[in-house]
Structure 1
Amino acid sequence: MVPNQIEMLPFFPNLTGEEKDYLRKNMRTLEFQVGDLIYTPAKGSLGMVLVLKGGVRAYLTSEEGKKATIFRLREGEFCMLTMSCAMSQITFDVEVEASEDCSLLLLPTDVFAKVEQENIYVKNFSLELMMERMSSLVEGVQQMMFLNLEQRLASYLLDESSQRKSDTLHLTQEEIAENIGSAREAVSRTLKRMKEKELISVGRGCIHLLDKKDLYALLQ
């Protein structure tokens, strides 16, 4: 199974035969259920992962235990799950959990580091990946600073709708709150206002987007 999956790596065509064999021997797949903790700095480095199925989210936790999502990964996306997600200059701790039942392809830290040192294409991939994650972090901070709660919620719902290719989203208010860095009570009040404006309809664990055009207008 793994030998075929190695070809999904963007830098695969630029690996030597020896490097390909080395990765084939050392890569493995990991399975997680929704809510499982995949990575925490306390557990040490994990490595470079590719999401084969499902999704994961990376988040920060405040001293009060409040979680704020900084980026999410879906099928076909990569992340370096090492100390602070491979960004050694960042001093806060990032944790990663399964947001859905998921399957990950893992290239352990020491294995990736060896090939990265020897192959400029792998090095470039690592740097680009680090910049993508930094960009996601900055975008998250910008939303927290410059968008009000209604705008952040609208942005999140529209993004989920696009990713899931559905206007009906099976989400709990607690899940939404953690993903946009807010309190569940505040999310509940905002959803109620959106419902009154006929932008959405709300059921038990389910939200249906009724007027995406006006939801996008909230972000202008």
Structure 2
Amino acid sequence: MPPDTALADRYPVLAALPPAVRDAALARLQTLRVPAGTVLFDDRQACEGFPFVLRGSIRVIKASASGRELPLYRVAPGETCVISSSCLLGHEDYNARGIAETDTELVLLPKAVFDELLAEPAFRGFVFHLFAERIADLMQLIEEVAFHKLDQRLAALLLGKGRVLHTTHQHLADELGSVREIVSRLLKGFAAQGLVKLSREQIEIVDAAGLRRVAAG
């Protein structure tokens, strides 16, 4: 599928732009293809443009000086990054880190073009609708971190991934913004209660009802 066709399919807002405006914007897009694990942006970096993800996904996190990470959200095809939008609108540097979770293809709308497209109601509405959705997600994350204990959050995370999870304790810790040692201890506790069965890079849900009780507090 040609990149311009993929872009139009993923981001229908582009079809709502006046043809001349759309064609001028498409002509100035920059295509990026990066392998999994690539840091696409980081704290205190200047924001160079507005990303449209065609394939793969970007994991956006807040990292501490000690190396701990708090996952904020993911950007999948058809979505875009509210932190990039915020930095472009406020003329600020990034205040988070974006990492390609998988091999990822995206196109970057340069800052100057982003500024021009904000004059178009369809694009402006798209950007602010994105803000509303992401802020709701981040408010939910704040509520979970502030008011739910880690064992509740871990139980809820396990329940959302199927009966058998092929994952590592470190990956779950990253998802929760915690550290591997604490997550491993909680998982061993769940196993001792008969809620899960642990094996190498695999977790089997044995008692889903019991996990739901833990998640509910």
TM-score w.r.t. the length of structure 1 is: 0.83
Deviations 1:148-203 (A, max 9, x none): 111111222334x2xxxx54333222222122111211100111122223333322
1:208 aligned counterpart, secondary structure: strand
CA distance in 1, matches of 2:144, 2:174: 14
1:181 alignment partner in structure 2: 177
Shift of the 81–93 alpha-carbon distance from structure 1 to 2, 3 Å rule, reads closer
Aligned partners of 1:41 and 1:84 also within 8 Å: no
Aligned partners of 1:54 and 1:103 also within 8 Å: yes
- Structure 2, unaligned stretches of length 5 or more? none
Shift of the 182–76 alpha-carbon distance from structure 1 to 2, 3 Å rule, reads same
CA distance in 2, matches of 1:193, 1:169: 17
1:6 aligned counterpart, secondary structure: helix
1:186 aligned counterpart, secondary structure: helix
Aligned partners of 1:48 and 1:80 also within 8 Å: no
Which deviates further from its counterpart, 178-187 or 54-63? 54-63
CA distance in 2, matches of 1:29, 1:92: 20
Shift of the 211–182 alpha-carbon distance from structure 1 to 2, 3 Å rule, reads same
CA distance in 2, matches of 1:74, 1:158: 22
Aligned residues: 214
1:145 alignment partner in structure 2: 146
Shift of the 86–184 alpha-carbon distance from structure 1 to 2, 3 Å rule, reads farther
- Structure 1, unaligned stretches of length 5 or more? none
Which deviates further from its counterpart, 210-219 or 63-72? 210-219
1:51 aligned counterpart, secondary structure: strand
Deviations 1:21-41 (A, max 9, x none): 123212233222222111124
Shift of residue 106, structure 1, vs aligned partner: 2.5
1:191 alignment partner in structure 2: 187
CA distance in 1, matches of 2:29, 2:91: 27
1:208 alignment partner in structure 2: 204
1:129 alignment partner in structure 2: 130
CA distance in 2, matches of 1:47, 1:196: 49
1:78 alignment partner in structure 2: 80
Q: Higher Cα Rg: structure 1 or 2?
A: 2
Shift of residue 43, structure 1, vs aligned partner: 2.9
Let me know the Cα RMSD of the aligned residues.
2.6
2:44 alignment partner in structure 1: 42
The aligned amino acid for 2:17 is L
Pick aligned residue for 2:14 from 8, 12, 36: 12
Deviations 1:62-92 (A, max 9, x none): 2322211111233432214537655749998
2:12 aligned counterpart, secondary structure: coil
The aligned amino acid for 1:137 is L
Aligned partners of 2:84 and 2:94 also within 8 Å: no
2:156 alignment partner in structure 1: 155
Shift of the 128–192 alpha-carbon distance from structure 1 to 2, 3 Å rule, reads same
Shift of the 87–12 alpha-carbon distance from structure 1 to 2, 3 Å rule, reads closer
1:82 aligned counterpart, secondary structure: helix
